A = this chain, B = another copy of it.
Amino acid sequence: MKTYKIAVIPGDGIGPEVINEGIKVLNKISELDTNFKFDFTYFPWGCEFYTKFGKMMDDDGIDQLKEFDAIYLGAVGFPGVPDHISLWELLLIIRKSFDQYVNLRPVKLLRGAHSNLADVKIDDIDMLFIRENTEGEYSGAGDWLFKGQDNEVVLQNSVFSRKGTERIIRYAFEVAKKEGKTLTSISKANALNYSMVFWDEVFEEVSMDYPDVKTASYLVDAAAMLMITDPKRFEVVVTSNLFGDILTDVGAAIAGGIGLAAGANINPERKYPSMFEPVHGSAPDIAGKGLSNPLAAIWSASQMLDFFGYEEYGKVIVSGIEELLIKKEVLTPDMGGSAITSEVGDKMVEVVTS
């Protein structure tokens, strides 16, 4: 029997609540299959830890996490700790240190979910976003000159490496090829005259190795518009770190809301642990009240199962979410229901076993 060692970082705000429910579901799934089980180890890192110890995680945090098969993370961020500290020193450093260069985000309108778009049919929104996750606009490189003076100037540098750009595009072509889908690249070469010209060149080059994959290419502004006016154009999408960040939130908005947005941060070579986390933030204003919606965290857990090779269980979870959405009996207020967080998790446990 295989044991998967999972590092759990519940984090801040509603993070712990939603992660709890995800773990309930994962445990139940592992009971259904005698071939594997999960071993969860909790790490109390995050903003509360920061206020006590002046750092977001242990000094050797990355080393500690290295031993695990995967990381399951809730949410990070709390008033009082500047976001660029809380995120860079926990979420972003994990993505980068473990070379989780693929950020996988389904933008799919589930059956029973409500889209904010008028005149949209359920099958019109079924995309898979593949976002570069380690470099680009989020390189962290920059400079702050002449602070406080008239000529003060601040630089933020995007860094697109050959290796980093090629591997994410190649990964996306592999997915599109396997699934027989169109691959769309999103960039902005007309204004970003170095980075995005390079991106487009690499996309063009790599496409030569995949003559059977149909491709399309849009500017980021046009893409943001078309996701709203004509979402069915998009199937598999590859884009940069920042553009992926923005567009997957557009995706969340059109595909049932942020309460249904799941994400996986993948190191495809499996040299390091991959990380699974809902896209939503820590929502400190509703923490501790049973109001938070655990479905995105649960969907992320299903991505973990996919990643371990148990796609059939991943599907069971997603179908279970659809069942809850269709029945509309056990949902949190943001989804139009009146259940509390743990009731949604309990119901999910019930439906995945039935």
Closest-CB distance, A281 to chain B (whole angstroms): 8
Interface set, chain A 211-244, CB cutoff 8 A to B: 220-222, 224-229, 241-242
Cα distance A117–B118 when bound, in Å? Answer: 5
Q: How large is the interface on A (under 10, 10 to 19, 20 to 34, 35 or more residues)?
A: 35 or more
A228, closest chain B residue (CB): B253
Given A221-B246, A225-B253, A246-B246, A158-B158 contact (CB < 8 Å): yes
Contact B195 A83, beta carbon cutoff 8 Å: no
Contact B193 A88, beta carbon cutoff 8 Å: yes
Q: With a CB–CB cut-off of 8 A, which chain B residues contact A190?
A: 77, 83-84, 86-88
Which of A145-153, A285-293, A305-313 lies at the interface?
A: A145-153
Which of A29-37, A159-167, A264-272, A316-324 lies at the interface?
A: A159-167
Contact B198 A224, beta carbon cutoff 8 Å: no
Of B119, B195, B227, which contacts A156 at CB under 8 A? B195
A157, closest chain B residue (CB): B157
Contact A83 B189, beta carbon cutoff 8 Å: yes
Does A97 sit within 8 A of B, measured CB to CB?
no
Given A116-B228, A229-B257, A156-B157 contact (CB < 8 Å): yes
